[in-house]
Amino acid sequence: MKTQITHIHWQLSPDISSNAAITGEEDIHQCINNILSTRKGSDILRPEFGSHHFDYIDQPFDVAVPNIVREIWTALERWETRIVVQSVEVTGEAPHFYFAIKWCLRDDAERQIYQTEVKHG
């Protein structure tokens, strides 16, 4: 049975057994996770794709947090152009950080705020 995808933005679900598409807000959450789980330089076809936040994971908290926030913000601005990042919050202790990224859709007049949570480590 074929499924008609009606959304302009979509991707296949990472769960290969489901044979489903991720659309809408869930598509953006997945893209954010993909960007932030990719070390910059590790994708040979797109060497600039990803984030350098990994470089600061083992630094002291007062050094790590502002650099991690900057690197996450920069990566998302470059690679996820459908959103406007509102804030990046970092909690936890090295090397087990949690990131809460608050964002809204660039073309949304209402500016509803969404949050994507990413665990590192």
Spell out the domains of the chain, with CATH numbers in brackets.
10-120 (3.10.450.40)
Per the structure block, which two tokens stand in for 18? 């489901």
Question: What is the structure's pLDDT at 18?
Answer: 62
Residue 101 belongs to what H/E stretch?
strand 96-105
Q: Phi and psi at residue 66, in whole multiples of 5°?
A: -65, -35
Question: What is the structure's pLDDT at 27?
Answer: 85
Q: Is 43 helix (H, G, I), strand (E, B) or coil?
A: coil
Question: What is the structure's pLDDT at 77?
Answer: 97
Residue ranges of the chain with per-residue pLDDT less than 50 = 1
Question: What is the structure's pLDDT at 81?
Answer: 94
